[in-house]
Amino acid sequence: MNAATPPLTSSAAGSTLTGAEIVVQVLADEGVDVIFGYSGGAILPTYDAVFRYNNLHRGELDTDPIPLIVPANEQAAGFMAAGYARASGKVGVCLVTSGPGATNTVTPVRDCMADSIPIVVICGQVPTAAIGSDGFQEAPVSTIMGSAAKHVFLVTDPTRLEATMRTAFEIARSGRPGPVVVDIPKDVQNWSGRYAGQGSLPLPGYRARLRQLANNQLGPAGAGQFHELLRQARRPLIYAGGGVINGNASAALRALARDYGIPVTTTLMGIGAVDTREALSLQMLGMHGTAFANYAVDDCDFLIAVGARFDDRVAGVPARFAPNARHIAHLDVDAAEIGKVKQVDWHHVGDLNQALGALRAYLSDRGFRPDYADWHAHIAQLKKTHAMNYERGGEALQPHAVIEEINQHTQGRAVVSTGVGQHQMWACQYFDFAEPRLWLTSGSMGTMGFGLPAAIGAAYARKDRIVIDIDGDASIRMNMGELETVTTYNLPVKVVVLNNFGDGMVKQWQRLFFDSRFSGSDKSLHRKDFVKAAEADGFEFARRVDRKSDLSAVVKAFIDFPGPAFLEVVIDPLASVYPMVGPGMSYDQMITGEWIPARTLNAATRSDKADLF
């Protein structure tokens, strides 16, 4: 529920510092090891303080203790901080100027809020006396961000700056994580005062709720009720969401599932909570989940939701979701999610690690040894009969084959980020993920342009892993300028563009529901040469593949290249993402396409009219 908290007392305690120096010192005390941001007038004092701090504390290898990574724009800085946070589990930091600098971070802030990702965005602001005067590069950050962030601070009292900064990190990482914005006027940055080295703002209500969560441990009575529901079940299924990743509860979930042989399916945000290669892993469920996962949800008699929220991409028709489940259990850190979409028979609100451990211990103490052999055989048959598949003949390069080829080299160990669209779904369907925090994608917001900057952030978080951005030709255009950021900092990020000359997912919907009227989605007349663009931005490895026969050799060279590498693959423009549960449809109406068998005769090719998205 809470990430590790740094020591309370700083080595700088008692020093006289400017407000800008206080900001940087708090970052150091919090263990921040990288900042992503773009400078400007209202934040210049803090940028100068970062420069001076790094000069003073530069290590033996002449490396900055808190490197400042400058993107092409502030939106990308926010996504870099998010990618860092998602890959590391630590709080990401974004440092931007006032006005447009701050407003350019609205989308990543909302994206982090929707996916429960901890970042702190520090914005410069016009001097306190000028607030409200429509001064140069002034924006009402508190008003704009108030409904998008977990919390927003406007610091007008410089004596509270240190405590505010420290509290921002506390709020970002604790409970259900999220983004916190700190708006700091320029005069507050220039003020000088004593650095306490400890302390935070009084938040009696918030901290009381955190204590309530911490104290609300699952005890024998609650565990006993769960035991009784599980004892009655013959086909239990765990449905794990992003809360398992954010709560660092993957090990506890895996242990429970392994000890009692309970199959697991995950949401898009929960990928990596269990090893996707395990026999009892059903991979992802939902709109573009595996057919076998969705059918297993239909067939289960006890659904156990862990850190999941029954969102519309999973439970599109709540009344028809898990229709044969006699009971549903729900474990989450956020009480607001209980019963919000789907009524449940048993629930627990609290730390997932504690709750899962308590369930496991209770079941073990009572010698619970269920026999799910028939259910396991049923799961195995579902995975065999309704296996993921695609067109393997023909001349056109299929995107699924590209992912499979890369996956042969990475073996579930790479950090994979994506943009948003068809390529995102192919990536989550055909990559293996052995661990949590290897899969980085914009889930709830579905923000195009996320993939490349998120990969840059991840490259700083996971220097021990290969980092790959799987992108689309339309999605990467949104933050194309960050190709130069990759080479500027010589990051060994691998960028793949699956080029189908358009907004592929939108075109798929237009084919299915709008009689192939490609309004605004066809980019076939655009003249972008992605390889030349990558070369212009400094990529020494920049290749294009448009023939099947070249794919294997080029992918190997791409993966083996020691520095930044760029690969464009021209794919079948008609390739679609299947399975697909259309809007207003339940899992038994899932469209599986030509290559994945469906349970019902007409489900494979159904294209009924429906409301878009």
Phi, psi of 391 (to 5 degrees): -70, 115
Residue 549: Cβ within 10 Å count: 7
Choose among 353, 169, 112, 373: nearest CA to 255. 353
Q: Residue 566 catalytic?
A: no
Out of 1, 80, 448, 505, the active site residue is 505
Task: Pick the catalytic residue from 1, 21, 25, 74.
Answer: 74
Helices (runs of H) and strands (runs of E) counted in the chain: 23, 20
In the annotation, is 408 catalytic? no
Verify whether residue 137 is a known catalytic residue. Answer: yes
Closest CA to 501 of 572, 565, 403: 572
What is the phi/psi pair of residue 420, to 5°? -130, 130
Question: Of these residues, 90, 150, 186, 383, which one is catalytic?
Answer: 186
Q: How many CA atoms lie within 13 A of 582 on its CB side?
A: 20
Q: Can you tell me whether residue 329 is helix, strand or coil?
A: strand
* Bridge partners, 124 (sequence order): 184
CB 279 within 8 A of CB 246: no
Asked if residues 141 and 109 have their Cβ atoms less than 8 Å apart, the reply is: no
Q: What ranges make up the beta strands (E) of 186-322? A: 192-194, 236-240, 264-266, 281-284, 302-306
Nearest one of 128, 130, 129, 124 to 183, comparing CA atoms: 124
Give the pair of three-digit tokens for residue 210: 């955190």
Tokens of 35: 């900042």
What are the Cα distances from residue 126, in Å, to 41, 134, 151?
9, 9, 20
Q: Verify whether residue 482 is a known catalytic residue.
A: no
The b/e string for 343-381 (b: 16+ C-beta within 10 A; e otherwise) is ebebbbbbbbbbbbbbbbebbeeeeeeeebeebeebbee
Element (H, E) at 214: helix 204-215
What is the Cα–Cα distance from 500 to 575, expressed in whole angstroms? 8
- Which residues have C-beta within 8 Å of that of residue 479, sequence separation ≥ 6? 72, 73, 75, 76, 79, 449, 450, 452, 453
- In order, the DSSP letters of 531-542 are HHHHHHTT-SEE
Ramachandran category for residue 341: left, alpha or beta (phi over 0 → left; psi -120 to 50 → alpha): alpha
Active site residue 505: yes
What residues are labeled active site? 74, 136-137, 186, 505
